[in-house]
Amino acid sequence: MNFMTTRVATLALAMAVMAGSQAALTPYSQDFETLDIASPTALSGNGWLVFGNVFDSGDNYLYGYGPFAAPNGTGGFSSIATGEGGAEQGQQYLNVFSDYLNGDHGFGNKIEANVFQEQVIASGDLGSTYQFAFDYKASSQNGPSGQTRTMAFIKVLDPNSGYALVAFPVVETTTASTSNWARGVINITIGSGWTGHILQFGFLSNATLYQPSGVYYDNITFSSAQKTISGTINLASYVGNPSSRAITFELVDGSNTTVQTQTLNLDGSNGYSFPTSVANGNYDVYVKGTTWLRKKIASVAVGSGGATVSTTLDYNGDLDNNNVIDSDDFDILVANFGGSGAGDVDGSGNTDSDDFDILVANFGLGGD
């Protein structure tokens, strides 16, 4: 299922809704208790928007539609729901699901429904880290099944480069429990060149053939983050500036649920720091560099001040970033050999025999 092409929706949405606005990022919180469950404008009146994308069965993009004010109770995209909240969720929460009003479900096409809030990054936000946190569980009657996938996300779009997608960290909620609520967290550090960029946070589902897709979300917050995970990530077989390569961290709890995903660039000394609001406890931390295989650091204790996680990413050469070093990576290197493009494994600025030697040495390996 191709989520890369879902960027098409946000391009149109960004131009239509927020282009030109320079308001700084502002905190948001919602527990849905005070919204009128019977009102068709309950969600739109609180700033929620929707956009739909349609793909054929081979994940080829067909068309997009929107943006629209988020509906409530129509059978498409979103509604306020009740009846399955726990003690911390209260009576009402957000239900996000596919657009079942779109007849292309019946033709086997895939309907991607995006439900989100949107803001614009200002110069005062640069360098700050923001956190999108939420409770979630699958609907006990209509939770994701079949080919359906669901997730929470933050998207950053650059209006000066054709609304290109600059960042897209996610927490997948497809396999959420139908009985127990969990807490999800996504953090993002605002890049130094992101003034005027568009930031969206919200939820999406991708479903076909009217298959169930309902996931509930509650106690939603978007704000500056505090508790930190920090350390040093050394990069094997690399001579370039470490700040030029993106690193993704995943925190996985004891039930094998990814509770936080963070993507950032190291500083010039291989250091990093990012905030977290996960509960104190032990987590497996997975670290993936752009061209390095993913590495697991088991049972990291996160306390009230956070945690220190330092390691070395040992195996370089994953040019297509799929956590395996194979013939596809070799093809990329060969296609760029002699140039300065995507085949530059070691960060020297050139794709040459040194890059070839690194890839050959690690050929056939897969990450954690």
Paired with 278 in beta bridges are none
Average pLDDT over residues 122-147: 93
| Confidence at residue 55, expressed as pLDDT on a 0 to 100 scale | 97
| Confidence at residue 132, expressed as pLDDT on a 0 to 100 scale | 95
| Confidence at residue 124, expressed as pLDDT on a 0 to 100 scale | 83
Q: Average pLDDT over the chain, rounded to whole?
A: 91
Fold entry, domain 4-223: Jelly Rolls (2.60.120)
Q: Does residue 137 carry a pLDDT above 80?
A: yes
Closest CA to 112 of 208, 255, 193, 32: 208
Average pLDDT over residues 280-309: 93
Please report which confidence band the pLDDT of residue 21 belongs to, taking 50, 70 and 90 as the band edges. Answer: very low
| Confidence at residue 24, expressed as pLDDT on a 0 to 100 scale | 82
243 in the Ramachandran plot: left (φ > 0), alpha (ψ -120 to 50) or beta? alpha
Strands 306-308 and 228-235, sheet pairing: parallel
Q: Does residue 187 carry a pLDDT above 50?
A: yes
Q: Tell me: the pLDDT tens digits for 247-280?
A: 999 999 999 999 999 999 999 999 999 988 888 8
| Confidence at residue 125, expressed as pLDDT on a 0 to 100 scale | 86
Please report which confidence band the pLDDT of residue 245 belongs to, taking 50, 70 and 90 as the band edges. Answer: confident
Closest CA to 110 of 211, 219, 225, 227: 211
| Confidence at residue 227, expressed as pLDDT on a 0 to 100 scale | 80
Burial class (CB in 10 A: 0-12, 13-18, 19+), 103: exposed
Q: Does residue 364 carry a pLDDT above 80?
A: yes
| Confidence at residue 128, expressed as pLDDT on a 0 to 100 scale | 79
Please report which confidence band the pLDDT of residue 8 belongs to, taking 50, 70 and 90 as the band edges. Answer: very low
**pTM reported for the whole predicted model:** 0.62
Average pLDDT over residues 185-205: 94
Listed by start position, the domains of the chain span 4-223, 327-362
| Confidence at residue 17, expressed as pLDDT on a 0 to 100 scale | 40
Please report which confidence band the pLDDT of residue 9 belongs to, taking 50, 70 and 90 as the band edges. Answer: very low
Closest CA to 271 of 315, 321, 308: 308
Q: Are 139 and 216 in contact (CB under 8 A)?
A: yes
| Confidence at residue 12, expressed as pLDDT on a 0 to 100 scale | 38
Q: Does residue 7 carry a pLDDT above 80?
A: no
Q: Does residue 48 carry a pLDDT above 90?
A: yes
**Mean pLDDT lowest among 46-50, 107-111, 197-201, 338-342:** 338-342
The total of other beta-carbon atoms located within 10 Å of residue 210's CB is 14
| Confidence at residue 341, expressed as pLDDT on a 0 to 100 scale | 78
Q: Does residue 230 carry a pLDDT above 60?
A: yes
Q: Does residue 126 carry a pLDDT above 90?
A: no
